């Protein structure tokens, strides 16, 4: 019986994330593109590669601020949906923490792949 509840719980969280993932992924792509452009510009100026992690901090804060703004938007305009999740036994804080964790996992994976592709471009031009 417990496994069915876990499945329903995860499914409800994914339903919530579905409404949130497209704008969040667009912001992730923007941040990765900006960090890549900054890294390439630094390489062209100094002819050295320090890595993409040096440039990701401002884009991390852009991602964090936009996530907070999306949170405020969803609280303001989709407040009626929280009763659906409350009836399923999912607290609002739990929903947001899991959603943010999933979003930041996608963000850091995209940043890692962007840095890897940049490094491979330098090794094999």
CA distances 106 to 9, 47, 56, 101, 110, Å, are 20, 30, 14, 9, 6
> Which pTM does this prediction carry?
0.81
| Per-residue pLDDT at 1 exceeds 50 | no
Give residue-wise pLDDT tens across range 29-52.
Answer: 998 888 888 777 776 666 665 666
Q: Tokens 């499914």 — which residue?
A: 11
Q: Which residue has the higher pLDDT, 68 or 123?
A: 68
The stretch 86-109 carries a mean pLDDT of: 88
Closest to 17 (Cα-Cα) out of 29, 6, 25, 27: 25
- Residue 76: enclosing H or E segment and its boundaries? helix 56-77
Q: In whole numbers, what is the pLDDT of the chain averaged over residues?
A: 82
């Amino acid at each position: 019986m417990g496994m069915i509840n876990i499945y329903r719980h995860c499914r409800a969280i994914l339903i919530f994330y579905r409404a949130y993932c497209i704008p969040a992924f667009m912001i992730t792509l923007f941040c990765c593109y900006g960090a890549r452009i900054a890294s390439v510009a630094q390489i062209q100026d100094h002819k050295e590669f320090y890595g993409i992690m040096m440039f990701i901090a401002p884009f991390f804060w852009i991602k964090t601020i936009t996530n907070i703004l999306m949170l405020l938007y969803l609280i303001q305009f989709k407040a009626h949906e929280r009763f659906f999740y409350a009836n399923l036994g999912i607290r609002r804080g739990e929903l947001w923490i899991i959603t943010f964790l999933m979003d930041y996992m996608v963000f850091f994976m995209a940043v890692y792949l962007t840095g890897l592709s940049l490094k491979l471009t330098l090794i094999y031009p």
